[in-house]
Amino acid sequence: MKLWLIVGALTALSGGVHAAAPDSAPAPGRDLHAMAPAQLIKRDVYTRFDEDLGKVKKIVVDEQSRRPYVVVKVAGFLGLGVLHIAVPTSDIQLQDEGLIISSEVKKEKVDREYPYLEEHFAEIPTRRPIAELSREPKAEPHGPIVTRVQH
């Protein structure tokens, strides 16, 4: 991911322009919900602290709320201890070819912050945009404002 940032910066400084292949990298500012699950599967997922979590396995919806989630396959050290987490799409940002979890969660705590219980979710078709298959509100241009209330 750092390499992409460096390449992007050098391209911008040199005035060079490169075109993306159709359905590959999202255009800047492109809404995650306008994309089909097939466009997200196998993309790398990182924490906002640049920790590599794993890859997108599938996109699902919560059976009660109908909100979409990204299921990430998180591998442990040397591939041992593989687990899956379910991150709400509202907590995900597109960046280059990967996805960034926008919350303050660190890699060692993702399983507690984003538990995945398969029986609570339904997989959605891979070719239709996520927005058509869920009740997730469209994100504001600068992302949602999240306020946590502590009791």
Strands (DSSP E) found in 28-149: 44-47, 52-62, 68-74, 83-88, 92-95, 98-101, 121-123
The per-residue pLDDT for range 63-109, each reduced to its tens digit, is 999 999 999 999 776 667 789 999 999 999 998 889 999 999 999 89
DSSP, collapsed to helix, strand or coil, labels residue 74 as strand
Would the pTM count as exceeding 0.95?
no
- The CATH homologous superfamily of the domain defined by 42-136: PRC-barrel domain (2.30.30.240)
pLDDT at 135: 63
Confidence grade of residue 33 (pLDDT, cut at 50, 70, 90):
confident
